[in-house]
């Protein structure tokens, strides 16, 4: 019954947002990034399935909306979110997250931003702000992670259908460690290739 209600809710929400086009995606992603949990993945998948040629646009707007919405949590965390964060996680996990942000702030936020629900991403955004992460790096990390996530989701939806949303949630629940490893490897490979391209361009310029 819960799944049935949820599917009808998503259908209603997507039908309401559809006339607004990509701006509807931005709005729902901003709400989700700020405070209210919204089925952004299902909305993006619905748009991508109905308009495959606009996948890049929908992924971009969803990423931008999520980034803008997360800025509110940054302000909350930066102005005293440590106590709020401590109430929601154990002392051990708090120290572990703080240590990760101290050593690798950008990757510690970007990698969780790539993962679909039920990842507790808002805890990571609060932790990033509490750790003193700069606002520019904060926004860039979220946008980069979200862009990878939503663009991949849109492409998979076009290829395999909207059922990809439910599959990704099941994979995250049952194989979180494998997804984190795959996301880390993919990010590192992309970074190494980017560095090589920059080096080649520098040599050509010289």
List, for residues 106-163, the tens digit of each pLDDT value: 988 998 898 877 778 888 898 888 888 899 999 999 999 999 999 988 888 888 776 6
Query: Can you count the helices (H) and strands (E) in the chain?
Result: 11, 0
Q: pLDDT tens digits, residue range 168-201?
A: 555 444 444 555 555 555 556 656 666 677 777 7
pTM: 0.72
The burial class, CB within 10 Å (0-12 / 13-18 / 19+), for 51 is middle
Q: pLDDT tens digits, residue range 67-105?
A: 999 998 888 888 877 777 777 788 888 888 888 888 888
DSSP class of residue 116 equals P
Dump the DSSP string for 37-89.
Answer: ---HHHHHHHHHHH-GGGHHHHHHHHHHHHHHHHHHHHHHHHTT-HHHHHTTS
Q: pLDDT tens digits, residue range 35-71?
A: 777 778 888 888 888 888 888 999 999 999 999 999 9
Task: Check: CB of residue 143 under 8 Å from CB of residue 67.
Answer: yes
Would you list the domain boundaries of the chain?
A: 2-174, 175-206
181: enclosing H helix or E strand:
helix 176-205
- 188 Cβ neighbours under 8 A, 6+ residues apart: none
């Amino acid at each position: 019954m819960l799944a049935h209600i949820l599917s009808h809710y998503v259908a209603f929400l997507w039908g309401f947002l559809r006339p607004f086009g990509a701006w509807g995606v931005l709005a729902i992603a901003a709400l989700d990034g700020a405070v209210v949990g919204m089925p952004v993945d299902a909305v993006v998948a619905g748009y991508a399935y109905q308009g495959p040629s606009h996948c890049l646009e929908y992924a971009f707007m969803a990423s931008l909306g999520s980034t803008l919405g997360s800025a509110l949590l940054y302000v909350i965390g930066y102005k005293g979110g440590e106590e709020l964060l401590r109430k929601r996680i154990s002392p051990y996990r708090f120290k572990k997250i703080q240590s990760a942000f101290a050593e690798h702030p950008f990757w510690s936020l970007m990698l969780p931003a790539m993962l679909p629900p039920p990842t507790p991403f808002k805890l990571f955004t609060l932790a990033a702000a509490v750790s003193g992460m700069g606002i520019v790096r904060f926004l860039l990390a979220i946008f980069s992670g979200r862009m990878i996530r939503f663009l991949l989701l849109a492409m998979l939806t076009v290829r395999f259908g909207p059922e990809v949303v439910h599959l990704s949630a099941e994979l995250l629940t049952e194989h979180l460690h494998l997804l984190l490893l795959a996301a880390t490897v993919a990010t590192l490979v992309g970074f190494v290739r980017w560095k090589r391209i920059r080096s080649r361009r520098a040599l050509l310029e010289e």
